[in-house]
Structure 1
Amino acid sequence: MNHKKPVYKLKMAQNVFNTNASQAFPNRHDAVNWVNKVLEANFSKIEELCTGAAFCQLMDMIFPGCLPLKRVTFDAKNEQQYLNNFRILQNSFRKKEIQKESICVIPVERVAKGYFQDNFEMVQWFKRFFDTNYEAHEYNPVAARGGGRKTKQEPGKPGRVALVGQKQMNTSADVKMATTLISETAEMKARAKVLDRERDFYFSKLKKLEQICMEHEHDGKKEDLINKIFEVLYATEVRNLKKKIQKF
Protein backbone atom coordinates (compact mmCIF):
# COMPACT_ATOMS: atom_id res chain seq x y z
CA MET A 1 0.00 0.00 0.00
CA ASN A 2 1.51 3.30 -1.10
CA HIS A 3 1.50 6.16 1.38
CA LYS A 4 1.82 9.64 0.02
CA LYS A 5 3.97 12.01 1.95
CA PRO A 6 1.76 14.77 3.41
CA VAL A 7 2.22 18.16 1.82
CA TYR A 8 2.30 21.15 4.14
CA LYS A 9 1.41 24.60 2.96
CA LEU A 10 4.41 26.85 3.31
CA LYS A 11 3.86 29.79 5.60
CA MET A 12 4.17 33.09 3.78
CA ALA A 13 5.68 36.18 5.34
CA GLN A 14 3.76 39.14 6.69
CA ASN A 15 5.21 42.25 5.12
CA VAL A 16 6.44 45.19 7.18
CA PHE A 17 7.59 48.62 6.09
CA ASN A 18 10.21 51.01 7.46
CA THR A 19 8.99 54.47 8.47
CA ASN A 20 10.53 57.28 10.50
CA ALA A 21 7.81 56.75 13.09
CA SER A 22 8.47 53.03 13.52
CA GLN A 23 12.13 52.78 14.44
CA ALA A 24 12.86 49.46 16.13
CA PHE A 25 16.09 50.69 17.75
CA PRO A 26 16.84 54.16 19.12
CA ASN A 27 20.57 53.71 18.53
CA ARG A 28 23.19 51.46 16.94
CA HIS A 29 24.23 49.84 20.22
CA ASP A 30 20.76 48.38 20.80
CA ALA A 31 20.70 47.11 17.22
CA VAL A 32 24.04 45.30 17.50
CA ASN A 33 23.13 43.89 20.92
CA TRP A 34 19.90 42.46 19.52
CA VAL A 35 21.67 40.69 16.64
CA ASN A 36 24.32 39.32 19.01
CA LYS A 37 21.69 38.05 21.45
CA VAL A 38 19.49 36.37 18.84
CA LEU A 39 22.34 34.77 16.87
CA GLU A 40 24.75 34.24 19.79
CA ALA A 41 27.25 36.31 17.85
CA ASN A 42 29.79 38.98 18.70
CA PHE A 43 29.47 41.83 16.22
CA SER A 44 31.03 45.02 17.52
CA LYS A 45 29.42 47.52 15.14
CA ILE A 46 26.58 47.87 12.65
CA GLU A 47 28.87 48.02 9.62
CA GLU A 48 30.01 44.42 10.21
CA LEU A 49 26.55 43.22 9.13
CA CYS A 50 27.46 44.17 5.55
CA THR A 51 28.43 40.55 4.74
CA GLY A 52 24.74 39.63 4.70
CA ALA A 53 25.43 36.41 6.64
CA ALA A 54 23.62 37.56 9.78
CA PHE A 55 20.55 38.59 7.77
CA CYS A 56 20.54 35.19 6.04
CA GLN A 57 20.62 33.42 9.39
CA LEU A 58 17.88 35.63 10.83
CA MET A 59 15.74 34.66 7.83
CA ASP A 60 16.56 30.98 8.39
CA MET A 61 15.61 31.37 12.04
CA ILE A 62 12.23 32.90 11.16
CA PHE A 63 11.48 30.42 8.37
CA PRO A 64 13.66 27.31 8.87
CA GLY A 65 14.83 25.87 5.56
CA CYS A 66 13.74 28.87 3.49
CA LEU A 67 17.31 29.29 2.24
CA PRO A 68 20.37 27.03 1.86
CA LEU A 69 22.29 28.18 4.94
CA LYS A 70 25.25 25.95 4.02
CA ARG A 71 25.83 28.10 0.94
CA VAL A 72 26.10 31.27 3.02
CA THR A 73 29.69 32.44 3.42
CA PHE A 74 30.02 33.27 7.10
CA ASP A 75 33.69 34.20 6.76
CA ALA A 76 33.10 36.44 3.73
CA LYS A 77 36.04 38.75 3.12
CA ASN A 78 35.14 40.74 0.00
CA GLU A 79 32.22 42.53 -1.58
CA GLN A 80 31.58 39.78 -4.14
CA GLN A 81 31.06 37.25 -1.35
CA TYR A 82 28.81 39.74 0.46
CA LEU A 83 26.65 40.15 -2.66
CA ASN A 84 26.43 36.36 -3.09
CA ASN A 85 25.04 36.16 0.44
CA PHE A 86 22.51 38.86 -0.35
CA ARG A 87 21.43 37.00 -3.50
CA ILE A 88 20.67 33.98 -1.33
CA LEU A 89 18.73 36.28 1.00
CA GLN A 90 16.78 37.87 -1.86
CA ASN A 91 15.83 34.44 -3.22
CA SER A 92 14.33 33.60 0.17
CA PHE A 93 12.39 36.89 0.07
CA ARG A 94 10.86 35.89 -3.27
CA LYS A 95 10.11 32.42 -1.93
CA LYS A 96 8.22 33.91 1.00
CA GLU A 97 6.47 36.47 -1.23
CA ILE A 98 7.91 39.49 0.52
CA GLN A 99 6.75 42.54 -1.42
CA LYS A 100 9.44 44.53 -3.19
CA GLU A 101 8.01 47.73 -1.72
CA SER A 102 8.69 46.32 1.73
CA ILE A 103 12.47 46.02 1.41
CA CYS A 104 13.69 47.45 -1.92
CA VAL A 105 13.95 50.96 -0.45
CA ILE A 106 17.13 49.70 1.24
CA PRO A 107 19.85 49.46 -1.46
CA VAL A 108 21.65 46.14 -1.08
CA GLU A 109 24.73 47.44 -2.90
CA ARG A 110 25.20 50.16 -0.28
CA VAL A 111 24.63 47.69 2.55
CA ALA A 112 27.33 45.44 1.07
CA LYS A 113 29.74 48.39 0.92
CA GLY A 114 29.43 48.73 4.69
CA TYR A 115 27.74 52.13 4.86
CA PHE A 116 26.47 52.71 8.38
CA GLN A 117 23.06 54.23 7.61
CA ASP A 118 22.08 51.55 5.08
CA ASN A 119 23.08 48.72 7.42
CA PHE A 120 21.27 50.46 10.28
CA GLU A 121 18.07 50.73 8.21
CA MET A 122 18.42 47.09 7.16
CA VAL A 123 18.62 45.83 10.74
CA GLN A 124 15.76 48.16 11.73
CA TRP A 125 13.60 46.54 9.06
CA PHE A 126 14.71 43.03 10.04
CA LYS A 127 13.83 43.60 13.70
CA ARG A 128 10.29 44.61 12.80
CA PHE A 129 10.05 41.74 10.30
CA PHE A 130 11.35 39.32 12.95
CA ASP A 131 8.87 40.50 15.58
CA THR A 132 5.99 40.19 13.12
CA ASN A 133 6.82 36.75 11.69
CA TYR A 134 8.90 34.79 14.19
CA GLU A 135 7.22 31.99 16.12
CA ALA A 136 9.27 30.56 18.99
CA HIS A 137 10.87 27.19 18.23
CA GLU A 138 14.05 25.34 19.04
CA TYR A 139 16.96 26.80 17.11
CA ASN A 140 20.68 26.66 17.84
CA PRO A 141 22.28 29.48 15.83
CA VAL A 142 25.85 28.34 16.48
CA ALA A 143 25.09 24.77 15.39
CA ALA A 144 23.12 26.03 12.40
CA ARG A 145 26.21 27.88 11.16
CA GLY A 146 27.99 24.54 11.09
CA GLY A 147 31.50 24.74 9.73
CA GLY A 148 31.07 28.40 8.85
CA ARG A 149 32.61 31.24 10.81
CA LYS A 150 31.37 31.41 14.38
CA THR A 151 30.43 35.05 14.31
CA LYS A 152 31.71 35.33 17.86
CA GLN A 153 35.39 36.19 17.86
CA GLU A 154 37.67 33.39 18.89
CA PRO A 155 39.61 33.98 22.15
CA GLY A 156 43.28 34.80 21.79
CA LYS A 157 45.97 32.22 22.35
CA PRO A 158 47.24 31.80 25.94
CA GLY A 159 50.05 34.17 26.80
CA ARG A 160 49.42 36.52 23.92
CA VAL A 161 48.35 39.40 26.15
CA ALA A 162 51.62 39.15 28.04
CA LEU A 163 53.49 39.67 24.78
CA VAL A 164 51.67 42.90 23.99
CA GLY A 165 53.23 46.07 25.39
CA GLN A 166 51.17 48.54 27.39
CA LYS A 167 51.71 51.18 24.73
CA GLN A 168 50.26 48.90 22.05
CA MET A 169 47.25 48.13 24.26
CA ASN A 170 46.63 51.83 24.82
CA THR A 171 46.90 52.47 21.08
CA SER A 172 44.34 49.75 20.42
CA ALA A 173 41.96 51.33 22.94
CA ASP A 174 42.43 54.74 21.30
CA VAL A 175 41.67 53.30 17.87
CA LYS A 176 38.54 51.60 19.20
CA MET A 177 37.39 54.85 20.82
CA ALA A 178 38.04 56.78 17.61
CA THR A 179 36.08 54.22 15.60
CA THR A 180 33.17 54.50 18.03
CA LEU A 181 33.18 58.30 17.78
CA ILE A 182 33.26 58.15 13.98
CA SER A 183 30.29 55.78 13.95
CA GLU A 184 28.34 57.96 16.39
CA THR A 185 29.09 61.03 14.28
CA ALA A 186 27.87 59.24 11.16
CA GLU A 187 24.70 58.25 12.99
CA MET A 188 24.02 61.81 14.13
CA LYS A 189 24.63 63.16 10.61
CA ALA A 190 22.20 60.61 9.19
CA ARG A 191 19.55 61.58 11.72
CA ALA A 192 20.16 65.26 10.97
CA LYS A 193 19.50 64.62 7.28
CA VAL A 194 16.19 62.97 8.13
CA LEU A 195 15.21 65.96 10.28
CA ASP A 196 16.23 68.34 7.49
CA ARG A 197 14.02 66.49 5.01
CA GLU A 198 11.07 66.57 7.40
CA ARG A 199 11.63 70.27 8.10
CA ASP A 200 11.67 71.06 4.36
CA PHE A 201 8.57 68.92 3.83
CA TYR A 202 6.48 70.77 6.41
CA PHE A 203 7.90 74.14 5.45
CA SER A 204 6.77 73.55 1.85
CA LYS A 205 3.29 72.81 3.17
CA LEU A 206 3.27 76.10 5.08
CA LYS A 207 4.44 78.00 2.00
CA LYS A 208 1.65 76.43 -0.03
CA LEU A 209 -0.88 77.31 2.67
CA GLU A 210 0.40 80.89 2.72
CA GLN A 211 0.06 81.12 -1.05
CA ILE A 212 -3.54 79.88 -0.95
CA CYS A 213 -4.40 82.37 1.79
CA MET A 214 -2.93 85.24 -0.21
CA GLU A 215 -4.93 84.23 -3.27
CA HIS A 216 -8.19 84.28 -1.28
CA GLU A 217 -7.39 87.05 1.20
CA HIS A 218 -10.30 89.26 0.06
CA ASP A 219 -12.95 86.64 -0.63
CA GLY A 220 -15.61 88.15 1.62
CA LYS A 221 -16.95 85.41 3.89
CA LYS A 222 -13.64 83.62 3.82
CA GLU A 223 -11.72 86.68 4.98
CA ASP A 224 -12.09 85.99 8.72
CA LEU A 225 -10.86 82.43 8.29
CA ILE A 226 -7.96 83.57 6.14
CA ASN A 227 -6.95 86.16 8.77
CA LYS A 228 -6.97 83.52 11.51
CA ILE A 229 -4.78 81.25 9.39
CA PHE A 230 -2.38 84.15 8.82
CA GLU A 231 -2.22 84.73 12.58
CA VAL A 232 -1.16 81.10 13.09
CA LEU A 233 1.37 81.23 10.25
CA TYR A 234 3.02 84.40 11.50
CA ALA A 235 2.96 83.71 15.26
CA THR A 236 6.51 84.31 16.54
CA GLU A 237 6.44 82.46 19.88
CA VAL A 238 5.07 79.12 21.00
CA ARG A 239 2.72 80.63 23.60
CA ASN A 240 1.34 83.08 21.04
CA LEU A 241 0.85 80.24 18.59
CA LYS A 242 -1.18 78.27 21.15
CA LYS A 243 -3.42 81.30 21.74
CA LYS A 244 -3.99 81.72 18.02
CA ILE A 245 -4.88 78.06 17.56
CA GLN A 246 -7.36 78.18 20.45
CA LYS A 247 -9.32 80.89 18.61
CA PHE A 248 -10.39 78.39 15.91
Structure 2
Amino acid sequence: MTEQAARLRLSSKPGDTSSLCAGMTSTRTAILPRFLLPQLSWCGPATIPRLAPWTVFRYEQPVARHRLRAMSWPRGFHATALRRRDHHFDTLKFVRRLQSEGFTEEQSVAMMKVLNDVIEESIQNLTRTMVLREEAAKATYTQKVDFAKLRSELLSADSSESNTTRSAHERLTNDIAKLSSRLRDEISRTQASVRLDLNLEKGRIREEAVGQELKIKETETKIEQEVAALREKLELVKFQTLQWLMGVCTGFAALLLGAWRLLM
Protein backbone atom coordinates (compact mmCIF):
# COMPACT_ATOMS: atom_id res chain seq x y z
CA MET A 1 0.00 0.00 0.00
CA THR A 2 2.94 2.32 0.65
CA GLU A 3 4.25 1.59 -2.84
CA GLN A 4 0.86 2.48 -4.33
CA ALA A 5 0.85 5.81 -2.49
CA ALA A 6 4.42 6.52 -3.68
CA ARG A 7 3.38 5.78 -7.28
CA LEU A 8 0.46 8.17 -6.93
CA ARG A 9 2.84 10.86 -5.67
CA LEU A 10 5.22 10.26 -8.59
CA SER A 11 2.44 10.21 -11.19
CA SER A 12 0.81 13.39 -9.90
CA LYS A 13 2.16 16.82 -10.62
CA PRO A 14 3.45 19.07 -7.85
CA GLY A 15 0.27 21.24 -7.75
CA ASP A 16 -2.30 18.58 -8.71
CA THR A 17 -4.40 18.21 -5.60
CA SER A 18 -7.40 16.49 -7.22
CA SER A 19 -5.39 13.45 -8.35
CA LEU A 20 -3.85 13.20 -4.90
CA CYS A 21 -7.31 13.29 -3.28
CA ALA A 22 -8.60 10.68 -5.72
CA GLY A 23 -5.65 8.41 -5.01
CA MET A 24 -6.02 8.85 -1.28
CA THR A 25 -9.76 8.14 -1.55
CA SER A 26 -9.23 4.95 -3.57
CA THR A 27 -6.55 3.81 -1.12
CA ARG A 28 -8.74 4.55 1.93
CA THR A 29 -11.85 2.82 0.56
CA ALA A 30 -9.91 -0.43 0.33
CA ILE A 31 -9.40 -0.64 4.13
CA LEU A 32 -11.83 1.70 5.96
CA PRO A 33 -15.35 0.52 6.90
CA ARG A 34 -18.31 1.45 4.77
CA PHE A 35 -19.79 3.98 7.19
CA LEU A 36 -16.70 6.22 6.65
CA LEU A 37 -16.78 6.03 2.84
CA PRO A 38 -19.20 8.98 2.20
CA GLN A 39 -17.25 11.17 4.62
CA LEU A 40 -13.84 10.35 3.12
CA SER A 41 -14.98 11.34 -0.37
CA TRP A 42 -14.85 14.95 0.79
CA CYS A 43 -11.51 16.74 0.26
CA GLY A 44 -9.96 19.19 2.62
CA PRO A 45 -9.84 22.94 2.24
CA ALA A 46 -8.41 24.47 -0.88
CA THR A 47 -5.46 25.94 0.98
CA ILE A 48 -3.58 22.63 1.36
CA PRO A 49 0.08 23.29 0.56
CA ARG A 50 1.52 21.68 -2.51
CA LEU A 51 3.38 18.45 -1.92
CA ALA A 52 6.68 17.73 -3.56
CA PRO A 53 7.46 14.16 -4.69
CA TRP A 54 9.41 11.92 -2.34
CA THR A 55 8.68 14.22 0.55
CA VAL A 56 8.93 12.57 3.92
CA PHE A 57 6.57 13.91 6.60
CA ARG A 58 7.23 13.73 10.24
CA TYR A 59 4.42 13.70 12.73
CA GLU A 60 4.40 16.84 14.81
CA GLN A 61 2.47 17.72 17.89
CA PRO A 62 -1.24 18.49 17.31
CA VAL A 63 -0.91 21.96 18.80
CA ALA A 64 1.83 22.99 16.35
CA ARG A 65 -0.04 21.48 13.38
CA HIS A 66 -3.23 23.33 14.18
CA ARG A 67 -1.25 26.51 14.73
CA LEU A 68 0.30 26.18 11.25
CA ARG A 69 -3.13 25.38 9.80
CA ALA A 70 -4.67 28.44 11.41
CA MET A 71 -1.80 30.58 10.10
CA SER A 72 -2.23 29.24 6.53
CA TRP A 73 -5.96 30.11 6.43
CA PRO A 74 -6.99 33.71 5.75
CA ARG A 75 -8.32 35.41 8.86
CA GLY A 76 -11.38 37.56 8.62
CA PHE A 77 -12.41 40.55 10.69
CA HIS A 78 -15.03 39.75 13.33
CA ALA A 79 -16.53 41.75 16.17
CA THR A 80 -15.98 38.80 18.48
CA ALA A 81 -12.93 36.64 18.91
CA LEU A 82 -12.78 33.41 16.96
CA ARG A 83 -13.71 30.38 19.01
CA ARG A 84 -10.95 27.86 19.54
CA ARG A 85 -11.58 24.74 17.57
CA ASP A 86 -11.73 21.71 19.85
CA HIS A 87 -11.36 18.13 18.75
CA HIS A 88 -14.13 15.75 19.58
CA PHE A 89 -11.93 12.65 19.64
CA ASP A 90 -8.33 11.67 20.39
CA THR A 91 -6.52 12.68 17.20
CA LEU A 92 -3.16 11.19 18.22
CA LYS A 93 -4.73 7.84 19.02
CA PHE A 94 -6.64 7.91 15.73
CA VAL A 95 -3.47 8.68 13.74
CA ARG A 96 -1.52 5.93 15.49
CA ARG A 97 -4.34 3.49 14.90
CA LEU A 98 -4.33 4.28 11.18
CA GLN A 99 -0.54 3.92 11.07
CA SER A 100 -0.84 0.57 12.76
CA GLU A 101 -3.37 -0.47 10.09
CA GLY A 102 -0.82 0.26 7.33
CA PHE A 103 -1.41 3.91 6.43
CA THR A 104 1.44 6.37 6.17
CA GLU A 105 1.78 9.31 8.49
CA GLU A 106 0.62 11.73 5.79
CA GLN A 107 -2.47 9.65 5.00
CA SER A 108 -3.29 9.24 8.69
CA VAL A 109 -3.00 12.97 9.35
CA ALA A 110 -5.09 13.79 6.23
CA MET A 111 -7.78 11.29 7.23
CA MET A 112 -7.75 12.66 10.76
CA LYS A 113 -8.25 16.18 9.40
CA VAL A 114 -11.03 15.08 7.06
CA LEU A 115 -12.80 13.15 9.81
CA ASN A 116 -12.40 16.08 12.21
CA ASP A 117 -13.85 18.49 9.63
CA VAL A 118 -16.76 16.13 8.93
CA ILE A 119 -17.49 15.72 12.65
CA GLU A 120 -17.22 19.48 13.17
CA GLU A 121 -19.59 20.17 10.27
CA SER A 122 -22.04 17.54 11.54
CA ILE A 123 -21.95 19.05 15.01
CA GLN A 124 -22.50 22.53 13.55
CA ASN A 125 -25.47 21.23 11.53
CA LEU A 126 -26.88 19.65 14.66
CA THR A 127 -26.31 22.71 16.81
CA ARG A 128 -28.05 25.00 14.32
CA THR A 129 -31.43 23.68 15.43
CA MET A 130 -30.49 23.83 19.12
CA VAL A 131 -30.79 26.73 21.51
CA LEU A 132 -28.71 27.84 24.42
CA ARG A 133 -29.61 26.87 27.93
CA GLU A 134 -30.07 30.54 28.85
CA GLU A 135 -32.46 31.05 25.94
CA ALA A 136 -34.34 27.86 26.84
CA ALA A 137 -34.52 28.98 30.47
CA LYS A 138 -35.67 32.42 29.34
CA ALA A 139 -38.32 30.89 27.08
CA THR A 140 -39.40 28.57 29.90
CA TYR A 141 -39.60 31.49 32.31
CA THR A 142 -41.57 33.51 29.75
CA GLN A 143 -43.93 30.58 29.24
CA LYS A 144 -44.31 30.18 33.00
CA VAL A 145 -45.05 33.90 33.35
CA ASP A 146 -47.53 33.74 30.48
CA PHE A 147 -49.10 30.62 31.97
CA ALA A 148 -49.34 32.27 35.39
CA LYS A 149 -50.85 35.38 33.78
CA LEU A 150 -53.27 33.24 31.80
CA ARG A 151 -54.12 31.26 34.92
CA SER A 152 -54.74 34.46 36.90
CA GLU A 153 -56.87 35.82 34.05
CA LEU A 154 -58.80 32.56 33.87
CA LEU A 155 -59.25 32.52 37.64
CA SER A 156 -60.38 36.14 37.66
CA ALA A 157 -62.70 35.51 34.72
CA ASP A 158 -63.98 32.36 36.41
CA SER A 159 -64.49 34.17 39.70
CA SER A 160 -66.20 37.10 37.97
CA GLU A 161 -68.37 34.74 35.94
CA SER A 162 -69.18 32.70 39.06
CA ASN A 163 -70.03 35.90 40.96
CA THR A 164 -72.18 37.09 38.07
CA THR A 165 -73.87 33.70 37.86
CA ARG A 166 -74.37 33.62 41.63
CA SER A 167 -75.85 37.13 41.66
CA ALA A 168 -78.08 36.27 38.70
CA HIS A 169 -79.16 33.07 40.46
CA GLU A 170 -79.91 34.98 43.66
CA ARG A 171 -81.83 37.62 41.70
CA LEU A 172 -83.82 34.93 39.91
CA THR A 173 -84.47 33.17 43.23
CA ASN A 174 -85.72 36.42 44.76
CA ASP A 175 -87.90 37.11 41.72
CA ILE A 176 -89.32 33.59 41.86
CA ALA A 177 -89.99 33.96 45.61
CA LYS A 178 -91.72 37.30 45.00
CA LEU A 179 -93.76 35.84 42.17
CA SER A 180 -94.72 32.82 44.27
CA SER A 181 -95.76 35.05 47.19
CA ARG A 182 -97.71 37.33 44.84
CA LEU A 183 -99.35 34.32 43.22
CA ARG A 184 -100.18 32.90 46.64
CA ASP A 185 -101.72 36.24 47.64
CA GLU A 186 -103.69 36.39 44.42
CA ILE A 187 -104.91 32.82 44.92
CA SER A 188 -105.92 33.50 48.53
CA ARG A 189 -107.64 36.77 47.49
CA THR A 190 -109.45 35.01 44.67
CA GLN A 191 -110.50 32.19 46.97
CA ALA A 192 -111.77 34.71 49.54
CA SER A 193 -113.73 36.61 46.89
CA VAL A 194 -115.14 33.37 45.50
CA ARG A 195 -116.12 32.23 48.99
CA LEU A 196 -117.74 35.61 49.66
CA ASP A 197 -119.63 35.45 46.39
CA LEU A 198 -120.71 31.90 47.17
CA ASN A 199 -121.88 32.92 50.63
CA LEU A 200 -123.75 35.88 49.18
CA GLU A 201 -125.33 33.67 46.56
CA LYS A 202 -126.25 31.14 49.23
CA GLY A 203 -127.84 33.89 51.34
CA ARG A 204 -129.67 35.33 48.37
CA ILE A 205 -130.89 31.89 47.33
CA ARG A 206 -131.95 31.18 50.90
CA GLU A 207 -133.81 34.49 51.06
CA GLU A 208 -135.45 33.81 47.73
CA ALA A 209 -136.41 30.33 48.93
CA VAL A 210 -137.94 31.80 52.10
CA GLY A 211 -139.81 34.37 50.02
CA GLN A 212 -141.05 31.68 47.69
CA GLU A 213 -142.18 29.58 50.64
CA LEU A 214 -144.05 32.56 52.06
CA LYS A 215 -145.68 33.20 48.71
CA ILE A 216 -146.59 29.53 48.43
CA LYS A 217 -148.12 29.61 51.91
CA GLU A 218 -150.04 32.78 51.08
CA THR A 219 -151.26 31.16 47.88
CA GLU A 220 -152.29 28.07 49.79
CA THR A 221 -154.22 30.15 52.32
CA LYS A 222 -155.89 32.08 49.52
CA ILE A 223 -156.79 28.84 47.78
CA GLU A 224 -158.18 27.44 51.01
CA GLN A 225 -160.20 30.61 51.59
CA GLU A 226 -161.55 30.50 48.04
CA VAL A 227 -162.40 26.84 48.42
CA ALA A 228 -164.22 27.56 51.72
CA ALA A 229 -166.11 30.42 50.09
CA LEU A 230 -167.06 28.21 47.17
CA ARG A 231 -168.22 25.52 49.55
CA GLU A 232 -170.38 28.03 51.39
CA LYS A 233 -171.80 29.25 48.11
CA LEU A 234 -172.51 25.69 47.01
CA GLU A 235 -174.22 24.94 50.29
CA LEU A 236 -176.29 28.09 49.94
CA VAL A 237 -177.24 27.27 46.35
CA LYS A 238 -178.07 23.73 47.37
CA PHE A 239 -180.29 24.98 50.20
CA GLN A 240 -182.03 27.45 47.93
CA THR A 241 -182.46 24.76 45.29
CA LEU A 242 -183.98 22.45 47.87
CA GLN A 243 -186.26 25.23 49.05
CA TRP A 244 -187.36 25.93 45.45
CA LEU A 245 -187.92 22.24 44.78
CA MET A 246 -189.93 21.87 47.96
CA GLY A 247 -192.08 24.86 47.01
CA VAL A 248 -192.58 23.55 43.48
CA CYS A 249 -193.42 20.09 44.73
CA THR A 250 -195.85 21.51 47.32
CA GLY A 251 -197.57 23.70 44.71
CA PHE A 252 -197.77 20.85 42.19
CA ALA A 253 -199.25 18.59 44.89
CA ALA A 254 -201.76 21.26 45.82
CA LEU A 255 -202.74 21.62 42.15
CA LEU A 256 -203.11 17.88 41.82
CA LEU A 257 -205.30 17.77 44.92
CA GLY A 258 -207.38 20.63 43.73
CA ALA A 259 -207.79 19.04 40.32
CA TRP A 260 -208.67 15.73 41.81
CA ARG A 261 -211.31 17.37 44.07
CA LEU A 262 -212.75 19.07 41.09
CA LEU A 263 -212.95 15.91 39.14
CA MET A 264 -214.31 13.95 41.97
TM-score in terms of structure 2 length: 0.21
- Structure of greater relative contact order (alpha carbons < 8 Å, 6+ residues apart): 1
TM-score in terms of structure 1 length: 0.22
Find the structure with the greater CA-based Rg: 2
Give the helix-richer structure, 1 or 2.
2
